[in-house]
């Protein structure tokens, strides 16, 4: 092979080539929820028994969490969509920076480690660069449960002081309904002495999934999914078999894919209550929504502009803001999208503009004037959800687009191009 050919091959970044204007049909299958699976994996640290998780998606984030748990002495085995975790030989309490740096969910381990071993050392987490996501609420909650915590040089050191062996049950009031803080405090409190409560708790379905599994392991939790969660501490937890809920963000992304390509599609399995705000906006912009068994059929009609504002659950999810904006670029009329969760989540705007979208941004608000069609272009996804948005825009664009940012995509969507291709898309991974 000539040297020039070798060099050119090496310089080609992994990307997707997406041929636009291919109608979709049939069915899109939703995998298990990434954000739920990650925290359920961390919960395996709370017991010596084996935890068997079913419906676990194959994602780089899941692989990263498995590697972190293995570093701490957890036995991790995979069999297709099943994950077997056993933390009977838990030893390391300091997580390696190089693993934690790329995975924000690694910080979930601090609660279980404190509850089970009485100490933990965890570097401050990384993950998608979509703005400040401080762990102040996590730390404040753990301190309320009796932990001593020191943050220095990017390392969080936590321990149970003195001769105490367990955290102490208490009432925690969160300043904001943080999902991560709610999950961290919940896992720490299940093995604490006495009763605890979390007020102003996050209400996301992932919280409900975690509480449901912990209760299957012998915990005594009530109120998950509401603003106040109560926890009665128990002495130990057991293993269990548990199936991860369907990924509501992947389901929402696929529903928007159907809408942007004006395709009649079934998306399954879906828990409709997890997507009420999204389904309502899809109805408002001109889609018929029908429940079919465990799935939802979407029949797009004429799409018109609607306004959205991202909010904590049960509001419109920030994770679907970018995909929905892609849809609005092709709608009739004007739409206004306001991002209220993260201050740095408009990276996709410039990329959509390269494809011919008409978008004006002021602060965290985007005003979108729908255009008759988008044009194919080379685009880059700067984070997980903006990469998904680029793929959706490319599906409807005139021509073949090159989409980079697959390192983000593979963190949160299992075989996305394969699933879309099975429904009629023409996407090639290069």
Catalytic center residues: 128
DSSP state of 162: T
Alpha-helix runs per DSSP H in 44-190: 60-71, 97-100, 110-117, 136-144, 179-189
Share in percent of the chain as helix, strand, coil (round to 5): 35, 25, 35
Cis peptide before 314 (omega within 30 of 0): yes
13: exposed, middle or buried (C-beta count within 10 Å: 0-12, 13-18, 19+)?
Answer: exposed
- Give the whole-angstrom CA distance, residue 5 versus residue 7: 5
Angle at the Cα of 321 from the Cα atoms of 110 and 128, rounded to 5 degrees: 35
Give which of 323, 246, 253, 275 is closest to 57, Cα–Cα: 246
- Sheet of 358-362, strands arranged across: 308-309, 334-338, 365-369, 358-362
- Give the whole-angstrom CA distance, residue 189 versus residue 229: 11
How far lies 117's CA from each of 114, 138, 165, 236, 353, in Å? 6, 18, 9, 12, 51
Angle at the Cα of 118 from the Cα atoms of 207 and 243, rounded to 5 degrees: 30
């Amino acid at each position: 092979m000539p040297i020039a050919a070798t060099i050119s091959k090496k310089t080609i970044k992994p990307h997707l080539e997406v041929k636009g204007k291919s109608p979709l049909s049939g069915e899109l299958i939703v995998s298990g929820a990434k954000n739920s699976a990650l925290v359920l994996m961390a919960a395996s640290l709370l017991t010596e028994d084996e935890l068997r998780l079913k419906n676990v998606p194959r994602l780089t984030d899941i692989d990263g969490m498995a590697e972190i748990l293995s570093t701490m002495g957890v036995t991790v085995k995979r069999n297709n969509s099943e994950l077997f975790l056993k933390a009977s030989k838990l030893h390391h309490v300091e997580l390696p920076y190089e693993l934690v740096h790329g995975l924000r969910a690694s910080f979930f381990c601090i609660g279980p480690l404190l509850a089970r071993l009485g100490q933990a050392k965890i570097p401050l987490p990384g993950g998608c660069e979509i703005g400040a996501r401080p762990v102040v609420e996590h730390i404040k909650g753990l301190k309320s449960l009796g932990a001593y915590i020191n943050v220095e040089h990017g390392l969080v050191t936590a321990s149970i002081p003195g001769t105490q062996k367990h955290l102490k049950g208490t009432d925690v009031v969160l300043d904001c309904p943080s999902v991560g803080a709610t999950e961290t405090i919940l896992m720490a409190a299940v093995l604490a002495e006495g009763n605890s409560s979390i007020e102003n708790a996050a209400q996301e379905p992932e919280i409900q999934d975690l509480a449901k599994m912990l209760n299957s392991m012998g915990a005594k939790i009530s109120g998950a999914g509401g603003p106040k969660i109560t926890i009665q501490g128990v002495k130990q937890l057991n293993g269990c078999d548990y199936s991860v809920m369907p990924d509501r963000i992947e389901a929402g992304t696929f529903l928007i894919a159907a809408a942007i390509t004006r395709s009649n599609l079934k998306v399954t399995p879906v828990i409709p209550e997890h997507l009420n705000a999204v389904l309502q906006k899809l109805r408002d912009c001109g889609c018929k929504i029908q429940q079919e068994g465990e799935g939802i059929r979407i029949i797009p009609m004429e799409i018109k502009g609607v306004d959205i504002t991202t909010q904590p659950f049960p509001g419109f999810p920030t994770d679907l803001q970018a995909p929905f904006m892609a849809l609005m670029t092709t709608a009739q009329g004007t739409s206004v999208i306001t991002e209220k969760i993260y201050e740095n989540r408009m990276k996709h705007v410039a990329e959509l503009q390269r494809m011919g979208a008409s978008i004006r941004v002021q602060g965290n608000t985007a005003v979108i004037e729908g255009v008759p069609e988008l044009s194919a272009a080379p685009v880059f996804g700067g984070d997980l959800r903006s990469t998904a948005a680029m793929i959706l825009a490319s599906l409807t664009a005139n021509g073949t687009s090159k989409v980079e940012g697959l390192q983000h995509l593979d963190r949160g969507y299992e075989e996305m191009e394969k699933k879309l291709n099975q429904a009629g898309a023409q996407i090639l991974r290069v």
